[in-house]
Amino acid sequence: MDRQRDKKFLRSLNSEAYRRIMNERSNLVVFNTETGEVASHYEPAPIYTENQKRALKGITELDVHQAEHGGFVNVFFEQSKTMLERIPELTQSDMARLLFLATYTSYPDRDSSYGYLRHDNGHYISKKGMFELLKMSRNKFDEFYKKIVDCGIIEEDEEKLAVNPGYFYRGDFGKVKPIVNDFQNTRVFRKTVRELYREYNGRQIKQLGLIYAVLPFVNFKYNIISHNPDEQVSGYVKPMRLGELADKLGYAKASALKTALRAIRYDGKPIFQFVEDESDSRKRKVIINPSVVFASNNETLEAIKVLFND
């Protein structure tokens, strides 16, 4: 390092750091371990953790979380109104398939507010492509396809399939504000949902539909199923008991819902976690894994993730 850079470096230090550096320079010798050459100067540099490095680059924990789980699609719904009330034509199994398809929603074209179903390589997904993707029987697929087109969730555009932004959307909300203004939304992570679908696409497909079914009740900040999902002050959040959730989702027994929720796991971890300190199972509270669904910011992400550690 030249003399000017040395002076600039020393001037950047506070008095305590300057005193410590000057003291070390007078008592220490720094040499190159490969050549044995004694260095005439050295400049101490801070050592950062990976989290600190990301912070310096402006990368948040949420950015990392989103990247790890394949990015997200925004899912829109009416707060505290069940998905069955909004889309009564769909079964719980249909909801699982629909959520899986939603992960293929593309960003809208420049002059459009609609995204299209597209593969990650940019190729459009046709009706035939959807059939191949869902891996259903032909009869069941035809029935499902008719439902989502008749409901206006998917719109046919020649060979392409447009996605109604009132249900699923990726990109700047400015384009779709008039359409989604009366709805709430949350992030659903694409990679997680796709991997779950591949694992549970069979007899357990109905259980996977529970993820879509509970979205209107997931608290935006704390990921707990609640009566007031938009409440951000922890003391005012009203958790929804398992029995109450069972009633809303049409389960005759809370124990049956609990069994179904417990059966869904991702990367060896549960998708739904229970607060088990209640002797009455109907009164237990339910938290959803942020690897699948998360609407808040960095403030609560790490605390919620810890609940799903083994």
- Dist CA 123 CA 105 (whole Å): 12
Domain-embedded: residue 102: yes
Same domain, 39 and 70: no
Of 285, 187, 293, the closest CA to residue 245 belongs to 285
Q: Are 291 and 211 contained in the same domain?
A: yes
Residue-level pLDDT at 131: 98
Query: How crowded is the C-beta side of 242, counted as CA atoms within 13 Å?
Result: 27
CA distance 307 to 303: 7
Q: Residue 13's closest CA among 24, 123, 186?
A: 24
Let me know if residue 56 belongs to a domain: no
Rounded CA gap, 208 and 225, in Å?
17
33-37, 74-78, 248-252: which range is least confident on average?
A: 33-37
- Is the same domain home to 19 and 75? no
Residues 39 and 86 in one domain: no
14 and 147 co-located in one domain: no
Distance from C-alpha of 211 to C-alpha of 187, rounded to nearest angstrom: 12
Quick one: pLDDT at residue 56?
Answer: 47
Instruction: State the Cα angle at 57 between 51 and 63, rounded to 5°.
Output: 65
The pTM of this model reads 0.80
pLDDT tens sequence across 152-190: 999 999 999 999 999 999 998 888 988 999 999 999 999
The verdict on residue 302 lying in a domain is yes
According to DSSP, the residues that pair with 156 across neighbouring strands are: 161
**Number of structural domains, the chain?**
2
Instruction: Over range 242-251, report the average pLDDT.
Output: 95
Q: Kindly state whether residue 300 falls inside one of the protein's structural domains.
A: yes
Q: Which residues pair with 273 in a beta bridge?
A: 287
Residue 179 within a domain: yes
Query: Is residue 54 one of the residues assigned to a domain?
Result: no
**Interval 209-218: pLDDT, tens:** 999 999 999 9
Residue 7 has pLDDT above 70, yes or no: no
Evaluate if residue 279 carries a pLDDT over 50. Answer: yes
72 and 213 fall within a common domain? yes
Residue 77, token pair as written in the block: 């719904």
Closest CA to 170 of 86, 97, 112: 112
In a domain, 55, yes or no: no
Cβ contacts of 292 within 8 Å, gap of 6 or more:
188, 189, 192, 193, 196, 211, 266, 271
**Residues 183, 77: one domain?**
yes
Q: Is residue 53 part of a domain?
A: no
Instruction: Choose among 168, 147, 152: nearest CA to 101.
Output: 168
CA distance 300 to 19: 41
Terminal-residue alpha carbon distance, the chain: 50
The domain containing residue 293 runs over which residues? 61-306
If asked whether residues 107 and 214 sit together in one domain, one would say yes
Would you state the pLDDT for residue 127? Answer: 98
What's the whole-number mean pLDDT along residues 111-129? 94
Residues 25 and 170 in one domain: no
Verify that 292 and 239 share a domain, yes or no: yes
Same domain, 27 and 67: no
Alpha-carbon distance 61 to 67, whole Å? 10
Q: Is 258 found in the same domain as 165?
A: yes
* Mean pLDDT across 130-146: 97
- Tell me the average pLDDT across 93-117: 94
Higher pLDDT, 97 or 6: 97
